[in-house]
Structure 1
Amino acid sequence: MDVFSDILRVIQLESSVFSKAELTAPWGIIQPSSHDAAFHIVIRGNCCLEVEGQNMPIILAGGDFIVLPHGHQHVLRDDLRTVAAPLASLGKAGQPDETGFIQFGGGGVPTHLICGSFKLDRTLGKPILAVLPPILHIKGENGRAVEWLDTTLQFIACEASSRRPGNQTVIQRLADVLFIQAVRAFLNDPLRQKQGWLDALQSPNIGVALQLMHAQPEASWSVVSLAEKIGMSRSAFATHFTRLVGETPMQYLTKWRMMKAAKLLMSGLMPLTEVAVLCGYESDASFSKVFKRYHGISPGNYRRKSSLSETYLSES
């Protein structure tokens, strides 16, 4: 059981590459705060990034990849003295040129950017968002993107310039890969403080416990039964799990069950009783009580709300 993949399937990550821009000095753009995670890739040139709540600007160079997981307002510009315009100005700059880039700025030194967003449900995405900092910065190497990013960008560029059926779907899926790789790069950073369930996956004992909970959320797990499965004492397991994951084993299990329940309810026609059983609850009443406490809404209303959202999106 790949727990990270399991979480990603539940949160239904969606990506959008919304612009490729050739920005010529002087230029500056402001992106307002959003529920979505923004990303920017510097293909060529240099620029400054200022993020709301962060004291120091970040100087970006060719090959750099930035993700803002929590959607903070931010400013990108060629120089800290340049006045920035709203991001919507890019959309008003005209049609892309023959290379697919929108032209914007004063005509000076160019910087090429790819900008996009990652959409994920803020409630279902909590397990990932909770462990991510305000900024993920994957630095380029000698003015080029790191190998995995460069390869993905080449695929995106190829699909963007083609007229083959399904090319937009392929681009979106490749953009999903960018998010996953950015999180992987964050996890592999030797200088950061390691904590949270993603890091706990690498623990020989606690990682197995997490895998068990994800593989069998319907099982009648307890601290004792989980500890026995991984060969630890009850107290040692509870202490070690809480220290690494940041919450008790039963708190984590409940959270995962409620995420899985929300996914099952969104998928449509499965009876509430069956959803409850698959998530480890013997009665609808006990399941509904926990679900409402976690999501702030009853299972039935959650399903109806999700159905209305799906209908709106399909008609818009």
Structure 2
Amino acid sequence: MDALTEVLKSVQLQCVVHCRADLSAPWGIEIDRVNRSEFHVIVQGSCWLEVEDRKEPILLVGGDFVVLSKGTTHRLRDALESPIVRLKDLRADSSCQGQMRVQYGGGGTRATVLCGNASFENHQMNPLLPALPSLILIRGKDGKAVEWLDLTLKAIAWETADDRPGSEMMIAYLSNILFIQAIRAYVASFKQDDAGWLRALRDPQLSVVLTLIHQSPEKNWTVDSLAKQVNLSRSTFAARFKEQVGEAPLQYLTQWRMYRASRLLRSTDLPLVAIAEQVGYQSEAAFSKAFKRQNRQSPGEYRKSKH
């Protein structure tokens, strides 16, 4: 299992397309800031995207796929002067056709947009969100989604076009695929000066090391032992890891251990000594000290606050 798969399993990714918006000019919708990632697919037509804290609007056209990983307040509209309504108000309107369908606008040029979100277990501590930019934009080609994305989008569009038995479950699975595809596309587009563990997945040797750390945090890893796993000298490995991931190997290992520990504290009743062993600490005291240093509260206090 690779490092990205391990992280995606651990963060309990849950995605859903919450509506298919059939729009006609003039139209404009505002999506409030949320504690989730938001994403939109322009199925047909075009629109402007305005994002809080970004000066310039972005023109989106058919086939474009945009992810706002931090859940920032944003607007979609056919023209920059078109009036705005909140999406949550449109979805609550009894005149909309079904839970998945929104129809809105003045009857002019048409556009169709799929709107969805992605949530994660333990939003504040999970390692995926900090590694993502606030906006990921995957451009289509000639008004259509890129080939690797097209089949998923067609399946979602078909499921959201009508209310079918089992459609909610199908859309949830397809939405997860959609979001993971966006992350993979982002990883493939890294520039030379980008840093972070996602970028390091493109390095064959560092990818092996990250997978080892993610799968087996309980092992007594050292810089030397990790370097030997990929046939690199200690100094070469440490320098490359720091350059590409943005932090030292053992610092990254500690953060992953603490994330795994926080998940065990929330989701199980295991005693602290057992959790300590599972994340690589020889004693409960050593684990508690490391956890408190990282999270500013003891494991016991953290567990109580999450129950």
Q: If the length of structure 2 is used for normalisation, what is the TM-score? A: 0.91
The match for 2:66 is 66
Cα deviation, residue 143, structure 1: 1.4
Residue ranges of structure 2 left out of the alignment (5+ in a row): none
CA distance in 1 between counterparts of 2:12 and 2:273 reads: 24
- Deviation at 1:71? 1.3
- How many Å separate the matches in 2 of 1:214 and 1:32? 34
Match in the other structure for 1:180: 180
Amino acid at match of 2:16: S
SS in 1 for 2:63: coil
Structure 1 segment 162-241 matched on structure 2, within 5 A: 163-165=164-166, 167-189=167-189, 193-241=193-241
Deviations 1:42-82 (A, max 9, x none): 11111000111222111011111110011111111110111
Cα shift at 1:95:
4.3
1:41-56 matches, cutoff 5 A: 41-56=41-56
Q: Give the match's secondary structure for 2:104.
A: strand
Q: Which residue of 1 aligns with 2:36?
A: 36
The 8 Å contact of residues 276 and 282 in structure 1, kept in 2 or not, is answered as yes
- Equivalence for 1:124: 125
Contact 2:17 2:172 in 1 (8 A): yes
User: In the TM superposition, what whole-angstrom CA distance separates every residue of 1:213-258 from its partner, at most 9, and x where no partner exists?
Assistant: 1232111111122223322222222111111110000110001111
Structure 2 partner of 1:20: 20
The one-letter amino acid of 2:51's match is V
User: In the alignment, is the contact (CA less than 8 A) between 1:94 and 1:103 conserved in 2?
Assistant: no
Tell me the secondary structure at the aligned position of residue 306 of structure 2. Answer: helix
* Structure 1: stretches of 5+ with no match in the other structure: 308-316
1:54-133 to 2 correspondences below 5 Å: 54-97=54-97, 101-120=101-120, 121-125=122-126, 127-133=127-133
Between the two proteins, the alignment pairs up a number of residues equal to: 305
- What do residues 193-221 of structure 1 show as CA deviations (whole Å, max 9, x unaligned)? 44211121222332222222123211111
Cα contact 1:94–1:102 (8 A) shared by 2: no
SS in 1 for 2:42: strand
Q: How far 1:41 moved relative to its partner?
A: 0.9
CA-CA distance at 1:189 after TM superposition? 2.0
Give CA deviations for 1:111-169 in whole Å, capped at 9, x if unaligned: 111111111233333x322232221111122212223322112322444445434x423
Aligned partners of 1:199 and 1:244 also within 8 Å: yes
When structure 1 is superposed on structure 2, of 68-77 and 286-295 the one drifting more is 286-295
Q: SS of the residue aligned with 2:128?
A: helix
TM-score for both structures, normalised by structure 1:
0.89
1:287 aligns with 2:287: yes
Q: Residues 305, 163 of structure 1: CA spacing in aligned structure 2 closer, same or farther, 3 A cutoff? A: farther
Q: Distance in 1 between matches of 2:265 and 2:99?
A: 44
Q: Aligned residue for 1:264?
A: 264
- Corresponding letter in the other structure for 2:113: L
Contact 2:19 2:99 in 1 (8 A): no
Shift of the alpha carbon at 1:24?
Answer: 1.3
Kindly state the Cα deviation for residue 192 of structure 1 after the two structures are TM-superposed: 6.9
Find the residue that maps to 2:251 and give its secondary structure: helix
Superposed displacement of residue 190, structure 1 = 6.3
Distance 1:300 1:155, change over 3 A: farther
Equivalent pair of 1:268/1:303 in contact (CA under 8 Å): no
1:144 is matched with: 144
Partners of 1:156 and 1:304 in 2: CA distance? 40
Contact 1:200 1:206 in 2 (8 A): yes
Secondary structure of 1:205's match?
A: helix
Counterpart of 2:55, as a letter, is N
Distance 1:265 1:38 in 2: 28
- Look up the equivalent residue of 1:43 and give its one-letter code: V
Root mean square deviation, CA, Å:
2.1
Measured after TM superposition, the shift of residue 108 of structure 1 is 1.5
Using the aligned pairs only, state the percent identity.
42
Letter in 1 for 2:123: R
Distance in 1 (alpha carbons) for counterparts of 2:190 and 2:125: 28
